Amino acid sequence: MTRELRIMVADDEGDMREFYQSMLPLLGHKVVAAVPSGEELVQRCKTLRPDLIITDIRMKDMDGIEAVARICKDEPMPVILVSAFQDNQLLERAQAEYIMGYLIKPIEQSDLAPAITIAMSRFEQFHMLRKEAADLRQALQDRKMIERAKGIIMKVAGIDEQEAFRRLQRMASDRNRRLVEVAEMVLVAEEMVRPGAER
Amino acid sequence: MRRLPLVYVALETLVVAGAYFVSGLLALAYLTVHHKSAAAFWPAAGIAFAALLLRGSRCAGGVFLGAFFLNLCTEGNVATSLGIACGNTLEAFLAVLLCVKFAGGARAFIHPRGYFVFVLLSCLLSTVPSPIIGVTSLALGGYAPWDNFWNICLIWWLGDSVGMMVIAPFLVLWLTIRWQPVRWSALLRFATVTTSVGVLSWLVFFGKLPGGANLPAAFLVLPLLVLGAYRFRARRATALIVLMAFIAMTGSLNALGPFGSMSHDVTLTLVQLFVACTTVTVMELAATAAERHRAEGELRQIHNELEERVQERALELSRANEALRKEITDRRNAELRFRSFLESAPDAILIVNQQGKVVLANVQAEKLFGFLRSELLGRPVELLMPERFRAIHEEHRGRYFTHPATRPMGTGMALWGLRKSGQEFPVEISLSPLITEQGTLVSAAIRDTTARREVEEKLRQAERLAAIGEMITGMAHESRNALQRSKACLEMLRLEVPDRPRALDLMGRMKKAQDHLQHLYEEVRQYAAPIVLDRQPCRLGEIVHEAWKCLLESGTRDDVHLCESGSGANLVCQADRVSVGQVFRNILENALAASPEHGEIDVCWSETSVDSWPAVRVAFHDSGPGLKPEQRERVFEPFFTTKAQGTGLGLAIAKRIVEAHGGRIAVGSNNMHGAEIVVDLPRGTS
């Protein structure tokens, strides 16, 4: 039921990188890169664009939380942190929305499978929620614009609201444009002819 | 030296010469013996002596002139007169020289020794050459027979001696008199004695007494003269002597009195001898009296001075006394203040002398050591310390007195005091030297540090535990990484040998060991980590249920039944849900492990109080074998376990958490069947 994921791992200990490279394929995933440092993680991510990042926190040059913060600044990616440490400060810093799991070392193969599954589905949900929110925001924006255009038409043409909306719809279908585009044109035209518009 | 006017010198010479001339003329007229130029009494010798002594050698001219003209007018020619004059002048010179040199000059007449020397050297010795020169001159001039030479010389010498002896002191003393206001009573006394001497001399030497012609009668005048000498001293005594001598000579020349019955020459000679003897005696006595008087005066003066000094000293003493009295009062006040200061001091204070004896102890010292003050005073201070420190303390004490300074005693060493009861207790002592009249003392302020030591001990232990905790926490974290690698490698190894069951079995056991190790690390970390509580209102009953559920889910056993009784499970407490859950889980885990098959765990709720704060009590009672007495005692100790697989930290962690909540955890008394653990948790402010 799980699809193959392109996973990138980071851990400063070779044993652990080898462990990931042995175990993750058994779980049906592909390790696209196993790097020992935060800097490399950031660099390789730009080109490889993995589906999931599993990273240690304490590494020599840059810690994992810092590295994923840079990576996910532009485009969020699901991240699982694996660390021997669990103090409050670290937990505080691991509150970012794209961090989908926090495993405490020592971990076993059996810990990885559920963590990955949960992380991916959570990220999926998270992603969908984000998309939904964005759509809703857009819809709201369009609605506002159409309402304003309707108001202008009502005022200029001296017609009622239903009639004004019908005219907008007709215009849109005639010109093969979206309703909101027609509304925007109305608003622009009105702004141009509005008295006292010239400055 | 100032030159005197010539007129003055000439006048002086004339006076001296005149006096010499007149006195000589009178003497030669009445008092000659054997020869016309040899008088038995020659006052001119005294006049010449007085002139030279008082006026100096320039008067020698006057003496010479007087003598020359005197002799020229009486007997002999110019040559003999010149010789005699030379002799006489030489005599005066010699007499004055010797007197000044050996007898003290004019002072000779008021000193017994001086007068004696004057008589010996001036009167008797220096008068020797003059008669020899004079008589030789006369004899050479044919005025004197050679065969009578020595007789004439002797008379001449006698006259000069007696004349000088009688007249010289009289003139010198009376001419050097310093006039003082007349004291009439003294004058009257003098007049009376003078008159008495005169009358008595007249009675004696004019033969007015019955049988007065006998020689001893002459000595009747002696007592009065002695009285005069004693009473009036030298100067007036000379006057009495001159008076007596004049009357004696006059009477004797008239063939009266004790000396009058003999021939002219013998009479005169005897009178002169008598006068000489009397004069020497009286003058010596007068000089002695004078000296005694002076000595008395000096003594009186010294006495007065002494008296004055004594007075001064007495005054000083009384002042000093006053100062001392004030000082004593001050000191007494200071001591009172000192004592009250000592008594009010919070520490026990002992003052110890160089011999190590207690000289002062305050009431706190009595209380601290349990001795009465009377039992401490005068006893060695070593009495108050354990036997084993006494010898070394004596040594240290001796060293302290050679370098006394304010400092704590035995820096860096543990000091122990000893109570009368024999109980030892830790002390802290600070020493300071006291400089007093009794030498250096040392004051020791002693403080019982038992309570502080206990607190310090606890603090030290807590610090040690904290340090250990920190270390263990770090270690547990670090070991996670190592454990992780080990586990990772083992899993990879498993992939390598899927077809070897024996190896897989061994790997399975290794994994178990790894898990056990991990569990141990986690428990230790939890035990050592600092507890930070996040108190929230919660119901303890719910937490017990969650813990039990969690335990069942871990799937070790499912045959044991949990029974609850009592009330209080739903009371709200201010507690950290997670850590209290840990407590209950650990207790239940133990209970479960101890339970027999299909056993039962009783959870009994009740209300109680901890340190008078309302609290909830929950008692867990299992149906296992129970705890042996020695197990009961040690069950909360870390790493003590009765389980085969336990870390021995479960109840130790529970105890830490409960105590962090201000609660109590103990082994219950209901121990007949199975073990009972009782937890009391304060409800907190809710």
Q: What are phi and psi of B445, to 5 degrees?
A: -100, 120
The range of the structural domain enclosing residue A184 comes to: 133-193
Between CA B268 and CA B162 the distance in angstroms is 12
Residue A187, in any domain of the structure: yes
Beta strands in B508-599 (DSSP E): 536-539, 561-566, 572-575
CA-wise closest residue to B616 among B661, B579, B578: B661
Q: How confident is the model at residue B149 (pLDDT cuts 50, 70, 90)?
A: confident
pLDDT: which is higher, B133 or B213: B133
Q: What is the pLDDT of residue B212?
A: 61
Between CA B301 and CA B364 the distance in angstroms is 67
Domains: count for chain A: 2
Q: Which residues of B touch A (CB under 8 A)?
A: 477-478, 480-481, 483-489, 491-492, 495, 514, 518
Q: What is the number of CB-based contacts under 8 A between chain A and chain B?
A: 45
Q: What is chain A's mean pLDDT, rounded?
A: 88
What does the pLDDT look like over B640-671, one tens digit per residue?
A: 877 766 778 888 889 989 988 989 999 887 66
Using a 10 angstrom Cβ sphere, with 0-12 exposed, 13-18 middle and 19 or more buried, the burial of residue A62 is: middle
Query: Which of chain B's residues have a Cβ under 8 Å away from the Cβ of A106?
Result: 480, 483-484, 486-488, 514, 518
Q: Is the confidence at residue B606, as pLDDT, over 70?
A: yes
Eight-class DSSP state of B101: I
What does the pLDDT look like over B496-541, one tens digit per residue?
A: 998 999 999 999 999 988 988 888 888 888 777 778 888 889 899 9
Q: Do A15 and B480 touch (CB under 8 A)?
A: no
Residues A96 and A139 in one domain: no
Q: What is the pLDDT of residue A135?
A: 93
Residues A138 and A81 in one domain: no
Residues A70 and A10 in one domain: yes
Residues A12 and A83 in one domain: yes
Q: Do B478 and A15 touch (CB under 8 A)?
A: no
**Which H or E run contains B246?**
helix B221-253
Query: Which of chain B's residues have a Cβ under 8 Å away from the Cβ of A85?
Result: 477
Q: Of the spans B301-305, B400-404, B470-474, which averages the highest pLDDT?
A: B301-305
Q: Is the confidence at residue B321, as pLDDT, over 90?
A: yes
Q: What is the pLDDT of residue B56?
A: 84
Q: What is the pLDDT of residue B391?
A: 87
What does the pLDDT look like over B427-436, one tens digit per residue?
A: 989 999 888 8
Q: What is the pLDDT of residue B1?
A: 47
Q: What is the pLDDT of residue B57?
A: 83
Q: Which of A107, A124, A153 is the last residue of a domain?
A: A107
CA-wise closest residue to B241 among B186, B163, B158, B127: B163
Q: Is the confidence at residue B342, as pLDDT, over 80?
A: yes
Q: How confident is the model at residue B273 (pLDDT cuts 50, 70, 90)?
A: confident
Q: Which of A107, A122, A156 is the last residue of a domain?
A: A107
Assigned token pair, B211 = 């049988």
Residue A120, in any domain of the structure: no
Q: Do A108 and B492 touch (CB under 8 A)?
A: no
Residue A119, in any domain of the structure: no
Query: Which of chain B's residues have a Cβ under 8 Å away from the Cβ of A84?
Result: 477-478, 480-481, 484
Q: Do B484 and A26 touch (CB under 8 A)?
A: no
Residues A13 and A90 in one domain: yes
Residues A137 and A64 in one domain: no
CATH number assigned to the domain comprising residue A157 = 1.10.10.10
Residues A83 and A26 in one domain: yes
Residues A155 and A89 in one domain: no
Which residues fall within 8 angstroms of residue B516, CB to CB, at 6 or more apart?
Answer: B645
Q: Which amino acid is at A128?
A: M
Q: What is the pLDDT of residue B680?
A: 92
Which residues fall within 8 angstroms of residue B613, CB to CB, at 6 or more apart?
Answer: B662, B682, B683
Residues A22 and A65 in one domain: yes
Residue A169, in any domain of the structure: yes
pLDDT per residue of chain A (199 residues) written in tens, 0 to 9: 468 899 999 998 899 999 999 999 999 999 999 999 999 999 999 899 999 999 998 888 888 888 998 888 878 889 999 988 877 788 888 887 788 899 988 898 888 999 999 999 999 998 899 899 999 999 999 999 999 999 998 988 889 989 999 988 998 999 898 888 889 888 898 888 877 655 4
The tally of CA atoms less than 13 A away on the side-chain side of residue A189 is: 10
Q: Do A22 and B492 touch (CB under 8 A)?
A: yes
CATH number assigned to the domain comprising residue A49 = 3.40.50.2300
Query: How high is the ipTM of this complex?
Result: 0.71
Query: Which of chain B's residues have a Cβ under 8 Å away from the Cβ of A15?
Result: 485, 488-489
Q: What is chain B's mean pLDDT, rounded?
A: 86
Q: What is the mean pLDDT of residues B164-193?
A: 86
Residue A88, in any domain of the structure: yes
